Amino acid sequence: MSRSGSLLTIPNRWCSASSTRRGSTSTRPPTEDRTAIPPGGLPSCPGPGDRDIDFPPRSLEHYTAALIDSVDLSNARSADLKLVLDYSFGTSSFVMPNLLAKLEAEVLVVNPYANTAGVLSFDRQASAARVSELVRASGAHLGAVLDPGGEHVAIVDDWATPYR
């Protein structure tokens, strides 16, 4: 490596013959000349399988729509449900508000945002006890504790009895 004025240069031979620079479709073999790197930039030699991680646009909306389309919500909407939910500081906080808006229920939410420290200190039994108290106090029809990953649920009935 050497400095040439305000640019840092690296030998092209540092990159393999099969690699290309981002945005380039050229696969010609590298030469011994030097490539200018802007100040602060790092040399990159992406390999054949190296790609940026892309997320499909509006994936959350598509997931919500598919889930809602698979369930008949008309009975739940007409029941005027009152729910107590504990998102346990997990990823459910990204999906559940969109789903609950379609349910048109009155919802009391506990731990409603993603938080790593909260996830690490998650205690299912303590959360179920807290939701039980809130179900009883609010007169809710149903309570639920979602684990931080959103994969498991503990249900609390309208008598404030928790079920796993």
DSSP 142-159: EEEEE-TTSS-EEEE-TT
Higher pLDDT, 68 or 18: 68
What is the three-class DSSP state of 136? helix
Largest distance between two CA atoms of the chain: 77
pLDDT tens-digit profile of 6-59?
444 445 444 444 444 444 455 555 554 555 555 656 555 555 555 666 677 888
What average pLDDT does the segment 69-97 reach?
A: 90
Q: Where are the domains of the chain?
A: 7-47, 73-163
What pTM does this model have?
Answer: 0.62
Q: Could you tell me which residues come within 8 angstroms of residue 26 by beta carbon, excluding any fewer than 6 positions away?
A: 20
Torsion, Cα of 152, 157, 161, 163 (10° steps): -30
Q: How far is CA 147 from CA 48, 63, 68, 164, in A?
A: 39, 19, 21, 11
Class in CATH terms, 73-163: alpha beta
pLDDT tens-digit profile of 115-157?
999 999 999 999 999 999 999 999 999 999 999 998 999 999 9
